[in-house]
Structure formats: C-alpha cells, structure tokens
C-alpha cells in the first residue's frame, strides 16, 4: 500500500454549470447552436465556480519524460537512447510542443522523471529507465512512492504559481506499451485489442509488442485491485508521476486537458486513487492508438478533436487548447439579447 494518501476530490460546481447553460440560452445566437463549445465553456465555469468564467490566463504544460525497459524488446521504432536527445532538444525549443505552446498561449515545463541518460531537467528524477514490465516490475515500492509524490509536488507548484489549466504530456521511447497495459488491465480488455503502432512500428515490431503486452498484462492482473501496486508492476516512473499530477490537479480544483494515450492511461489509475478526479478533466483529442478509445470510454469523456495525432508530448492537448479558450470567451464576451437590444427568437 502507498503511504501517499489522496484527499477527497471535490466536484466541479453543478449549480454554476447549470447557470452557464442558462446563460448560453440568453446570448445573441440560436439556442444550443454552438454545440460542444457550449458544454466546454460550462465545464470551465463549473471548475472555476463562477459564471461567466474567467478567461484561461495561465495554462501550463508539463512534459513527463522517461525510458522503459520494454524498448529493448524491439517494441518501438526508436532505440531507447533517443529519449535523452529529445528531452534536450525540447529544452532548446526545438521540439513539437515548443512550436505549439506559444501559439496556444501556454507555458511549458519538461521534467526528466526516468530518462536513461543525462538531461538538464533532473530535479525530480526517480531512476534511469523503468523495468521491462513483461518480466519484472517497473519500479520498486519506494520508487513508485517517489514518482507519485513528484507528480503531486509538480502539480502543487504549478497551481501555486498561478496555473489555471494544466496539461500533462509524455515523452519516452516505449511509453505506449506500459500505457496500453494499464488501459487493458483497468478496462478488462484482451491484449491484442490495445496494441497500436505507437511510434510507427512495422508488423514484426507489432507482434513483438503484442507479446510484451500479453506477458505484462498477465502480471498486472495479479495486482488489479491496488492502484499503487499496479503502477509499481506495470507502469513506469513517468506514468506514475503523471498519475500523481492528474489526481492532485483535481484535488486542487484545477481543470486538466488530457492529451493522448499515456495521459489517459495515467488518468485511469488516478481515478482509482482519487475517485471523481475525472470531473476535472476534458479529453483534448482522440489519438490514433486503439487503447485510447477504451480509456476515454471508461472515463466517460468525449474528445474535442480527432486529427489522427499519435505523438504524445502534449501535441493534441495544445492543439485543442485554443478551442477551449474560445468556449470560455463565448460565455464571457458575447452579449445577451437584453444587453444588445436584439429581439430574441419567438418561443413556440
């Protein structure tokens, strides 16, 4: 059992959500004519506890980087050493999220949790690489605890510094394999149904990945009732840190845009550790991995975008962020029929 206890998660304010929906009906547009944008704006209003909601002023992305022992089994298109190179490229503003974040108006932080190499972002480093989960545990009990605590501490630091929306991104060769195992375990799905192409693997690598997931899932199912043990056996330090981050964001009443496969896998475990946390999350997009749909269905979340993105690194969430910002602005900036002096539609 974990020594780290997560507090009860409050619910977003349902009275404010209802008020936001009523407000939408008074704005100078046909009723419900903006579809999901109306739902998303009402969700942010409920998270903030105020209607109209305040603009999203300080969104923050944290990219959790780590290596995975399964990469040595040929489950990725990249060798494991690439993760450290990618982290250092991000720190030099050369990566995908560093291109997208300024456009979306988001701050970006990169954290090396378990990269198998040296980087310049090691403040919260738990270990170098995580165990090969088909044959051994990903982490020791102490490392699992340290990774969860790192995620909690990072979430607290970001919220304390003024973040009003959080995004967790992943970066690591092989991360889609433990992510798929966690999702298969918690949704009761057979291994073959969750095996995706990840980094762009060929058929032979896909078969190797399917075998690794099958063996890891067999081990994961023995600890299914204990979320912390599940992280120890079948995740990785990066995924465990993301889990703590997502749970703590909810406890701190801070909305989160979930990115792709890894973030959704961590979210499934976070919901087990801190029930009701999912009320504070929105699904940014549907990624191209088959396990992602299973995770979103389990969390009862509908993706905002569907662009075939499978990268991770918060790419999908950063792309969806401006849509969410627009949804908030509609509630705060569009005039009502009364204030604009516009005749409302006739009621039948």
Q: Quick check: is 19 catalytic?
A: no
Residue 332 and residue 18 in contact, taking contact as beta carbons nearer than 8 Å: no
10-14: long-range contacts (C-beta < 8 A, 24 or more apart)? 10/251, 10/253, 10/276, 11/276, 11/279, 12/43, 12/46, 12/47, 12/49, 12/279, 12/280, 13/45, 13/46, 13/47, 13/49, 14/46
> Would you give the DSSP letter of residue 128?
S
Write out the two tokens for 86. Answer: 């990618």
Write out the two tokens for 40. Answer: 């998303």
> Would you give the DSSP letter of residue 68?
B
Write out the two tokens for 79. Answer: 């060798």
Measured CA to CA, the distance from residue 92 to residue 127 in angstroms comes to 23
Select which of 19, 158, 313, 346 is catalytic: 313
Q: What angle do CA 134, 235, 94 make, to 5 degrees?
A: 110
Phi, psi of 160 (to 5 degrees): -65, -30
**Which residues are annotated as catalytic?**
313
């Amino acid at each position: 059992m974990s020594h780290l206890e997560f507090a009860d998660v409050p619910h977003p304010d349902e009275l404010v959500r209802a008020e936001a929906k009523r407000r939408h009906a008074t704005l100078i547009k046909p009723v419900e004519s903006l579809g999901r944008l109306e739902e998303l704006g009402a969700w942010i209003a409920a998270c903030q506890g105020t209607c109209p909601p305040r603009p999203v002023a300080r969104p923050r992305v944290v990219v959790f980087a780590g290596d995975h022992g399964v990469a040595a089994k040929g489950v990725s298109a990249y060798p494991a050493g690439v993760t450290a190179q990618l982290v250092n490229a991000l720190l030099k503003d050369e990566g995908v999220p560093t291109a997208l974040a300024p456009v979306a108006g988001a701050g970006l932080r990169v954290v090396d949790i378990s990269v198998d190499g040296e980087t310049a972002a090691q403040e919260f480093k738990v270990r170098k690489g995580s165990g090969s989960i088909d044959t051994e545990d990903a982490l020791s009990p102490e490392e699992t605890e340290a990774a969860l605590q790192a995620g909690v501490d990072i979430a607290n630091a970001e919220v304390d510094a003024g973040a009003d929306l959080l995004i967790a991104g992943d970066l690591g060769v092989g991360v889609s394999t433990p992510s798929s195992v966690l999702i298969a375990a918690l949704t009761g799905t057979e291994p073959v149904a969750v095996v995706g192409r990840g980094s762009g693997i060929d058929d032979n690598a896909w078969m190797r990945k399917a075998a690794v997931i099958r063996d890891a899932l067999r081990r994961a199912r023995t600890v299914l009732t204990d979320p912390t043990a599940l992280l120890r056996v079948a995740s990785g330090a990066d995924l465990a840190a993301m889990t703590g981050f997502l749970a703590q964001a909810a406890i701190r009443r801070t909305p989160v845009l979930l990115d792709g496969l890894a973030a959704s896998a961590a979210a499934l475990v976070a919901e087990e550790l801190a029930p009701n946390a999912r009320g504070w999350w929105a699904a940014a997009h549907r990624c191209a991995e088959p396990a992602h749909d299973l995770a979103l269905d389990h969390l009862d979340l509908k993706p905002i975008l569907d662009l075939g993105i499978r990268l991770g690194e918060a790419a999908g969430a950063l792309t969806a962020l401006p849509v969410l910002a627009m949804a908030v602005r509609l509630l705060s900036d569009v005039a009502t029929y009364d204030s604009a002096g516009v005749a409302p539609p006739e009621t039948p």
